[in-house]
Structure 1
């Protein structure tokens, strides 16, 4: 199964590279539109299981919803940069997104680990795409202002949802800079790394039952003795 998933992701990456070339913002817009979809698929299936009375695990729902919220703000940032101006890019993003939703729903029902592995590869590709973009355009990006939507999400707004998808270490949450557009892309890149770590961890079957959201861990750390957290 993993070989097939790697082949599908590789083909998708090849097609995107051919179609978009150096059109960076439209490419990012399409990728971020599609990147939200698997988290919607996970939530839909988990809500179905809960409705049928066969499963209930609030922390997993919280984390996946926070991940959709994070990808939404990546998308809003790309829209603020003009990535969605052309009708063709919007059409591609919406059509692929709808098809991708149902593919992931079926895959998640049949094999949750495979669905998480698929997303691990997608998010890993996104991380390296943004990392390469940062290295190529560092000087240019540092001269441009950060979009307001990025400032609100990463610094000045309600940070609960930003914190809730993070794979924290030592019960500390990221507090990134948002001084210019370079900082914004660094933050997006680092978000993708957070997603990769979560997707990797959730491929362990018992992790889907034992996972605790960052705020659950953070609150427990303040209430319980350190050896019990």
Structure 2
């Protein structure tokens, strides 16, 4: 009996040792498997990092080409208008300015129209964009009124040409803005840059004569009288009340018109970065229309995001 019990005790100890060895081996297997899985996950992350960098580089190349094409088209369109103005208005400055100001305010009408359409459809809302673009059109309207007071619209042909170019440009920019707001804003920047250069050249050539002329009444009222909220609103690169013009003669009027065009250029430059425009009267903690990541600023942007969006793998 004693031998029998000793035999069974020895068997039990042996089983316990084997069980402990087996448990240790199982733990080792689990650790090794988990290590392999983590390593595989790391490799996947590294691979996905490389893929994401490759995708970002390819998307940046496509975007650069898109920007280059858009700007080339805009420059060609702007040059075509400049050639028309050079043909008909080489020695007729005020008539040229009248046509130029009639055209220059059209893009803002187009921007506002498309933005109202987007808001009506519930796609997205851009309150600051609407405010600033309306203020820009308000500024250009007063430039136009000044040129009319100076006799720039005296001839029927000048009115006919300016108005029909404006109608064509309105629908063209509506389509362009719906396709790619960045392209539309760059086109407007080109127009405003040409206006700035035109006025700057005119001032340098006729400065002494302009200082002898009286300032139009509409210019005095717009720049110096009443509430200047709208005057500050389109100048997004400077704080409100930081620019208060003095209008004493015709020279001062054209100086301020030229400076207005420079401010338009800055605003249009800022608009080319999606969501970058902010009203100068907006406070940082105000309720801002935050655009989600899925927001598309135009047809081109929607196509680009659909192409570059990561493919979801179904296991």
For residues 162-205 of structure 1, what are the alpha-carbon distances to aligned partners after superposition, in whole Å with 9 as ceiling and x for unaligned? 11101243554310111100000000000000000000111012
- List gaps (5 residues or longer) in structure 2: 1-69, 287-315
For residues 50-69 of structure 1, what are the alpha-carbon distances to aligned partners after superposition, in whole Å with 9 as ceiling and x for unaligned? 00011112111000000000
Matched with 2:114 is 45
SS at match of 1:216: coil
Residues 171 and 218 of structure 1 are in contact (CA less than 8 Å); yes or no, is this contact kept in structure 2?
A: no
Given the alignment, which residue of 203, 215, 225 partners 1:146? Answer: 215
Does residue 213 of structure 1 match 2:279?
yes
| Number of equivalences | 217
Query: What does 1:1-229 correspond to in 2, within 5 Å?
Result: 1-169=70-238, 172-207=241-276, 211-217=277-283
Aligned partners of 1:119 and 1:149: how far apart in 2? 25
Aligned partners of 1:63 and 1:102: how far apart in 2? 21
Aligned partners of 1:16 and 1:202: how far apart in 2? 27
Residues 238 and 280 of structure 2 are in contact (CA less than 8 Å); yes or no, is this contact kept in structure 1?
A: no
- List gaps (5 residues or longer) in structure 1: 221-229
TM-score, normalized by length of structure 1?
Answer: 0.91
TM-fit CA distance, 1:40: 0.2
Could you say if the C-alpha distance between residues 158 and 169 of structure 1 is closer, same or farther in structure 2, counting changes exceeding 3 Å?
Answer: closer
Pick the structure with greater CA Rg. Answer: 2
Residues 9 and 121 of structure 1 are in contact (CA less than 8 Å); yes or no, is this contact kept in structure 2?
A: yes
Runs of 4+ in 1 over 2 A off after TM superposition: 167-173, 217-220
Aligned partners of 1:201 and 1:76: how far apart in 2? 27
TM-score, normalized by length of structure 2?
Answer: 0.67
SS at match of 2:282: helix
Aligned partners of 2:237 and 2:275: how far apart in 1? 19
Aligned partners of 1:53 and 1:4: how far apart in 2? 31
